[in-house]
Amino acid sequence: MAEISGIAHIQLSVSDMQRSVPFYSTFLKAMGMTPVLEDNSFYYCVGGRTGVAITPVAPEYASHTFRQGAVGLHHVCFRAKSREDVDALFEVAVQLSARIIREPQESNFAPGYYSTLFEDPDGIRIEVNFVPGKGLLSE
């Protein structure tokens, strides 16, 4: 049986690189990620065994907006190493004027699940969570 070791990268299509790159640059750097490629059509950061790419939407979809629940991405969730990291990244989201969906709080998704949820400039939902120990795998 093959076994994966995580998600190598996520690529998000955005409507306006001029608006989205500063948002993601600040947010991803606050998570300890390092930019490795950046031009007008590609912004890419790596860190925590993860890569995040930001690219412009295809021209034929330029007038479309993100619709959570439609076919495709529902939201992205980054795993933090502590509750304090979730709180710190929530503060970064506030400083970026992100639309806050949920302030940091515990949820019953897994024992000790603690998260925040907000939106990028295109309305793509971003969650940051912390789950102590092995989470659902500890049961």
CATH number of the domain that residue 124 is part of: 3.10.180.10
Full domain range(s) for residue 42: 9-57+66-138
Residue 27 lies inside a defined structural domain of this protein: yes
β-partners of residue 50 are 47
Number of domains in the chain: 1
pLDDT tens, the chain, 139 aa long: 888 888 899 999 999 999 999 999 999 999 999 999 999 899 999 999 999 999 999 999 988 889 989 889 999 999 999 999 999 999 999 999 999 999 999 999 888 999 999 999 999 999 999 999 866 665 5
Residue 114 lies inside a defined structural domain of this protein: yes
Can you spell out the DSSP letters for 88-137? HHHHHHHHTTPEEEEEEEE-SSSTT-EEEEEE-TT--EEEEEE--TTGGG
